């Protein structure tokens, strides 16, 4: 995996995390990150626009123009839509539905350390189920965007 793909997966993970918390706390999905291209594009340690263009062509998920050193509008969105299913599957396969849910739920609490200890895990999965239903269902349904 190259750096550009690692950054793309990190953007996808960011979106999945935000959607989870939108379900968990019954808020609207936060989409201001769609235009995060300027925060991931540039000279190292960022990824140059040329490299993003190569990735785009290799994966066939977005049109790209290399006229300047900026990403096209909504390029970050295309990255996320391409990589989010893969990231979600990897998380679910590695952690399992319950532990992934508990980890995401606990992540909004101050002072939580990962991996979760038994007490934090049980607090997340055994607490009031009604407040957690939407987030749990989204997680167990594959974390689709």
Q: What is the pLDDT of residues 16-39, one digit of tens each?
A: 998 999 899 887 665 555 656 677
As given in the structure block, the two tokens for residue 3 are 């750096």
Which range of 29-33, 55-59, 95-99, 126-130 scores highest in mean pLDDT? It is 95-99
- Render pLDDT for 54-70 as a digit per residue (tens, 0 to 9): 888 888 876 666 555 66
As given in the structure block, the two tokens for residue 74 are 């909504």
Is 83:9 a contact under the CB 8 Å cutoff?
Answer: yes
As given in the structure block, the two tokens for residue 138 are 């989204």
As given in the structure block, the two tokens for residue 69 are 């050193």
CA distance to 27, 62, 87, 101, 143, per residue, from 137 (Å): 16, 30, 18, 9, 9
Per-residue pLDDT averaged across 126-130, rounded? 83
CA distance to 5, 44, 118, 129, 145, per residue, from 103 (Å): 24, 32, 11, 16, 19
3-class DSSP assignment, residue 47? strand
């Amino acid at each position: 995996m190259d750096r550009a793909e690692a950054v793309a997966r990190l953007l996808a993970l960011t979106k999945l995390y935000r959607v989870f918390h939108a379900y968990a706390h019954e808020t609207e999905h936060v989409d201001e990150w769609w235009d995060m291209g300027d925060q991931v594009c540039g000279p190292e340690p960022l990824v140059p626009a040329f490299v993003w263009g190569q990735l785009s062509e290799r994966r066939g998920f977005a049109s790209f123009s290399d006229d300047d050193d900026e990403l096209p509008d909504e390029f970050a969105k295309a990255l996320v839509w391409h990589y989010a299913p893969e990231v979600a599957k990897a998380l679910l396969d590695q952690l399992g539905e319950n532990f992934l849910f508990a980890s995401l739920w606990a992540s909004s609490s101050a002072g939580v350390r990962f991996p979760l200890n038994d007490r934090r895990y049980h607090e997340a999965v055994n607490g009031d189920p009604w407040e957690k239903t939407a987030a749990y269902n989204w997680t167990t349904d594959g974390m689709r965007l």
